[in-house]
Structure 1
């Protein structure tokens, strides 16, 4: 697994947390994440039948970052089973890391977090439209090809192999699964990226509802873009991809994240 922490993170103060302390509570707003130095914590998901334990995390895990990445609510509850030492990572820290990402990779990270939230049936924050900002980036212009697609064009069908993702610049597309209409995507939305990143078949059929202009992003270009991310976000991206490709139900923060040098 790629290291997650940068050396600057290791210089942040370490807090001692007593056993039975709830660090993160599902459904609440988040203002920090935690890099665990020592101790053991359990991850709980609230459901109609009460809390369900998803797993435990220990030294070098990072918890609580999803709410900072997409401004959503906490996706699970995390409670200390033993005394814990952890480094607190503020929202400003994550904002600074996001600011170092090319627009495409920042948006990709949001897509992965949204997919994980969907896998748990959790609510998702409203995504900001971002197509123009992504297209205006010089780094993005080197990895994408802009094309216009006619009304009725089928970008891909459910079950197809993934070869490219698409960023809508103008127009709209319809999303269908098992013959049912799931919704409409418009300018600023990326579709088709999860099949590329997770190496799985297309989960839905996508059809142009009108003349639509898209940027086409190839699989190898996604990989190159991810390499430009700060180490902590690059590793989180790979952790999310592994979870989605493996179909595991443990939350992303159950993966260990080791310290790294810049």
Structure 2
């Protein structure tokens, strides 16, 4: 995946965080003058005015921008403005209540099918080598007032209020729960290249990206890093930390500079102890997100069609196993087909009664096990032991037989995985591989 080209807005944000306030104010004023309806530029203009000690104008700009972003469907940007105002000592409770009333689970204007559109990249205007603070502040004041007038005109001439996008995580919460979460969250910033979460570290917080872009990267066993996806404003990072202490399976790196809301695990646990409904909502959100990740990453489910994948998943039970648990034991029939949602397992094989245990593989999220015993209709050829607490989907043996009958694509993928696993095992142990025709389903 090619590196991302930073927008002029991202550069302005980085200048603000680096203390280059006059330069940032001059540049964002030009961007806002070119397009007064650009709320991202409007928010940065307000922050620049605050940084240049033009408090009255900065507060007015951020308040107006928060109202406009809430009304037009950009809750992350609205929250960015509100937390900036709160950090400046401004009272924003009423604006928070308005945002919560518009975006909570079941709010009438929210369309569950609508998604938040990422900000459009804009080129950075040419900035003079030296910018006077007074000149920059004056330009930013004029641009902010023009943007406020533009928003007042658009609001007064609007025929109907637009539908709002569903916001991940926050949109899954009731109004009461969303209020408690926002009251206990903290706004944090990450410069370009900073790691928001680290692969292999214990999950200790959830992050909601308010502005800027981040990338998800995973390091292979050879040390190579692969970019898996990019995260736009509104994305949620680290939600698995809410339901498991499993190590992170990938890193998230700030690509353009990121502002995010951080909700620490201990805060979530304290809130959940006091509010059982909130705990249920958080667990349900995480469950849905983990299943969505599984559909994208599982080598067994990925080749199936979208409708067929959803039907297959409906046949699975959900189970949490502690570290050290042995769901499959060598020499015994597999009780079912297992898919790892979150966690890690070791595949161990013992040759002979007194032979040493050989670790054949380490399995992680998206991996399947138990398929060989089911496909070959014989005892398991290896033991599977959980490395730490893990969440899995389990398809019991009887249901497995019905599922492969109903979903031919699943049968084909399991045959392929079983064949690959058998060849890997025999190669590792120095045995001859079985013939492909020997692996069949009855």
Task: Answer whether TM exceeds 0.5 for this pair.
Answer: no
TM-score scaled to structure 2, two decimals? 0.28
User: Relative CO higher for 1 or 2, CA cutoff 8 Å, sep ≥ 6?
Assistant: 1
| Larger proportion of strand | 1
- Give the structure with the larger helix fraction: 2
Q: Find the structure with the greater CA-based Rg.
A: 2
Superposition TM-score, scaled by structure 1 size:
0.45
